[in-house]
Structures are given as C-alpha cells and as structure tokens.
Amino acid sequence: MKRPKPPLSVVIVEDEPLIAMDLESMVEDAGHRVVGEAASLYDAEAWDVSLQPNVAFVDIQLARKTSGLDVSQMIQARWPDTIIVFVTANPKIIPPDFAGAHGVISKPITRSGFLAAMQYLQEGVCDPPPTVSLPNSFMASPAFAASWQN
C-alpha cells in the first residue's frame, strides 16, 4: 500500500451544518483538505468514485433517516484504505467491532481535541505507527489500535 503524504484528503458526513462547517475549518487548520461533504447516506453515495479520501469523519445519526454505520460500509466498499472515524454524541451505539471503522471522536468536539486526533491520524496514515500519544479525544477501535502497536 502506497502511503499518502500530507495534506490528506478528508470527507465529512454530518447533517448539522454548523458542526460540518466547524469540522471543515479544523481539518483545513490542520493543513488538510476537505474533498467531499454529505448530510446523508444518499449524499455520500453521490460522491464520485475517483474521490479517494484518506480520512472520513462520519456522524452516526444522519439526515433523511440514514445512518453513519451504512455510510461506513459504503466507504469501506469504495475506498478500503480510508480511515473512518465516527463523530457522535452517542458513542455507546457503535457496535463493539466499530462496524469496521477505525475510531470515534465524541461530541461535543473541542478544537484542541480534534486537532490532536487529526495529528495522530495523520501520522498513522502517512507513516505508521504514530509517534504522538493517543489523544484522549480519540478512541481507537481495538483492531485499529492493535495494528498501530505492532
């Protein structure tokens, strides 16, 4: 697998416009670029297959009665190397296997917490394992955490 170099390509799936704008701003402040945004599974399915995101931030409860769990499956099918991070106020509804996702950031999101998680993810995506400590703002799935400890 060829490792990307910063800036990373990021997609955001969030149905609350203000939260989506905050996430986009923080991604860009971290030096990366947002290449796609969606408020529902249907919006995400409309993305061009050539998008090739490195990281996806996905809310669990989305517009049009769709689920971030379904978005995660769609992203995994289209872009299997994409790091998927759920961003939710309800982390307890995430299945124990994280539905194949790599981690979760709990809402409410702080700027410093998000930027720390973004740095951790950038290092892990570009040159694993990360050299920075796992931030408190990011909970890695058990399988994902183990893959970066080797």
Domains of the chain (ranges, CATH numbers) = 9-149 (3.40.50.2300)
DSSP single-letter state for residue 108? S
For 104, the enclosing helix (H) or strand (E) is strand 103-106
| Mean pLDDT of all residues belonging to the chain | 93
Tokens read off for 24? 């986009």
Burial of residue 24 (CB within 10 Å: 0-12, 13-18, 19+) is: middle
- CA-only gyration radius of the chain, Å: 14
Low-confidence ranges of the chain (pLDDT < 50): 150
34-51 residue pLDDT tens: 999 999 999 999 999 999
pLDDT of residue 26: 97
Indicate the pTM of the whole model. Answer: 0.95
